Structure 1
Amino acid sequence: MKVELVGAVRLLVDLSAVDASVQNFLLHSHSDMRNNSQGIWLQQTCTLFVQSGVQLLSEFTKHAAVWANTSVVRANFSQPNPRQQERAGNNHDEPLQSGSSSGELSGSGEAQAEALWWGHRLQMALVNTVAFRGVWQKQFLFTNTQNLPFTLPDGSAIKVPMMYQATEVSFGQFRTASDHRYTVLELPYLGRSLSLQVALPSERKTPLSCIESQLTARQLASWETGLRRTKMDVFLPRFRMQNKFNLRSVLPAMGISDAFNPTAADFSEISAEESLYVSDAFHEVRIEVTEDGTKAAAATAMVLLKRSRAPVFKADRPFLFLIRQVNTGSILFMGRVMNPADQTP
């Protein structure tokens, strides 16, 4: 199990050192972001739902309780709590709640619903939820937002609320290994501990997949040295996303497969029961990008923007985005925006 985890994160060092160093890094990174009171709201919770009757080692539960907002919850997956199910369907906009040691499923509403849906075959499920809201270092003005065209992947265009500001940003131009050109814009959040990076194909005819499929760790690292400060006219659409994923097929592709194998799983440091394995792993993410980093107003004013001689960055077609922690380079979120108007929870 440890070897698989080390391989997944490409750490070729002593395993005992990995346990300590990785946990210390994640714990402090999480603490730094959680303690940042300068307009950043980031909540990460990791809840391990365990079928009632499975005996866990006390040392593990104590360790999980103090590490990176992790909780262990006992649950009877075959008899879901009706009150929790009802609440799961109505809490899309409430802050995520971390789990407790009670007998009820806790965590985000979407994560609860997902775990309950799979309840007929769950033995142990890992549910990770991440939610983020941030205030820009320099906020977009609501009065500058206009309904402007956004070109969809099929070539059609729709009108979406497009934010605008003239500001100094970090900007760079790059090429993939297959010679597709794209540009990257970086906007800092208040306090500059986190930033939003937007990658946009330079040519309208270049599908986003041509850029996305060739983004390697080396390509992402090149952004750090390839970005330059410059004054630009920035157009960025509002967007909001909420998605949930079953990682049952994703993690094995990263080299983590034994955890899901009833005959190969080794959770001897969690429980003395030999048959314990991970039935499923779920991930839920919620993010929204607006003028001030919080929920946008319902109405948008229409204005005429003054022309300037500054270069223009206009995200009016599909683009990639990353939210990263500046001091570590850690990527907290990575996604694509194909249609900003598609905001279905």
Structure 2
Amino acid sequence: MPPLLQVILFLSPCVAGTRASHLLEGLRLLKTEFALRLYRSVAAGRNGTNFVISPTGVALSLEILQFGAQGNTGRQLTSALGYTVHDLRVRDCLYTAYATLRNSSHGTVMELACNLFVQEGTPLSPCFVEQISWWANSSFQPADLRDPNSTTIQANEGLSRQTTGENPGAPLRELVSTMSAQLVLVSTMTFQNTWQRGFSSMDSQPLPFTCVHGLVLQVPMMHQMAEVNYGVFRDAVEHEVGVLELPFLGNVASLFLVLPRDKNIDLGLIEPHLTARVINLWTSRLKRSRMDVFLP
């Protein structure tokens, strides 16, 4: 088995028109580059341990801050994202994409929300409030951030009930590390769907999985024999990698798996050469193949 499995989920909204399509393609590449930079930044301090991040959720928070940021802060946000919501074309494209998320189909649930907890008494520009009140299901909630013990963060009510059946909360003291905070942003993203071709529970069994540095573990593996989109490519320094696509029902989204072909090659040697254009090239050149698929 390969040494490690790395998964990234990309948002691909649909808009009409040639100009809009070019803009969408550019935004998709920028968002993918942002996801890769974010991943590398977080991974640098994890010392090889597993973690889960939502680049889309982080980007949403930064987009909301762009509505109120100016000067050096505004320039830093634009540099981090690679785009600005002050560009009306970008704003319209993203607004359409976020609105499309709420239109579930084929059993798909995909939602994005951001809650802003504002220190009571903090003056906010009416223009800022108006701009973000309709941005990707965002909302305001007054809070006493100087007394974190008195306030509990509640996730978007409809979103959390759909995913968990309840409305879990987290004390603000777990998120606020300074008593001078005036604004806390909490973004949530949920995605629920079923595989286009499901894995059989009867085919699951313990099998060896080779981790980094050659450590072999026995882990539960699910299996299916199926026709999938698959390709073998080489990165910038000639490492051979396999790319597999597992679509969800209705082809509304896909899970892409990227892994070294040589089990002795650490994924860390391949990650620095991953770019948005490389990923776009690989995923666009996959071919139908019938194969056994084993996943933890």
For normalisation by structure 1, the TM-score amounts to 0.56
Higher helix share: 2
User: Secondary structure of the equivalent of 1:173?
Assistant: strand
State the partner residue of 2:245.
186
How far apart are 1:110 and its partner, in Å? 5.4
How far apart are 1:10 and its partner, in Å? 3.7
Higher strand share: 1
C-alpha change, 1:167 and 1:96, in structure 2 (3 Å) is closer
State the partner residue of 1:156.
215
* Residue type at the aligned position of 1:124: L
* 1:145 lines up with 2:213 in the alignment: no
* d(CA) in 1 for partners of 2:173, 2:289: 46
* 1:222 lines up with 2:290 in the alignment: no
State the partner residue of 2:108.
40
* Residue type at the aligned position of 1:77: L
Maintained 8 Å contact 2:151/2:172: no
Q: Which of 244, 254, 263 is the aligned partner of 1:204? A: 263
Aligned residue-pair number: 218
Unaligned runs of 5+ in 2: 1-69
* d(CA) in 2 for partners of 1:142, 1:121: 51
User: Secondary structure of the equivalent of 1:49?
Assistant: strand
State the partner residue of 2:128.
60
* d(CA) in 2 for partners of 1:112, 1:59: 27
Q: Which runs of 4+ in 1 moved over 6 A?
A: none
* Residue type at the aligned position of 1:27: Y
The C-alpha deviation readout for 1:228-280, integer Å capped at 9, x for no partner, is 1111111111xxxxxxxxxxxxxxxxxxxxxxxxxxxxxxxxxxxxxxxxxxx
In percent, how many aligned pairs have the same letter? 37
C-alpha change, 1:114 and 1:41, in structure 2 (3 Å) is farther
The C-alpha deviation readout for 1:30-64, integer Å capped at 9, x for no partner, is 22222123222223222222211111122322332
C-alpha change, 1:8 and 1:21, in structure 2 (3 Å) is farther
* d(CA) in 1 for partners of 2:171, 2:233: 38
The C-alpha deviation readout for 1:98-155, integer Å capped at 9, x for no partner, is xxxxxxxxx964595642x425241223222223222111111111111212122232
State the partner residue of 2:231.
172
Maintained 8 Å contact 2:108/2:193: yes
Unaligned runs of 5+ in 1: 98-106, 238-345
How far apart are 1:9 and its partner, in Å? 4.0
* d(CA) in 2 for partners of 1:50, 1:146: 50
State the partner residue of 1:135.
194
How far apart are 1:81 and its partner, in Å? 4.7
User: Secondary structure of the equivalent of 2:265?
Assistant: coil
State the partner residue of 2:87.
19
Aligned-residue Cα RMSD (Å) equals: 2.8
* Residue type at the aligned position of 2:179: H
State the partner residue of 2:16.
none
Maintained 8 Å contact 1:96/1:108: no
How far apart are 1:186 and its partner, in Å? 0.4
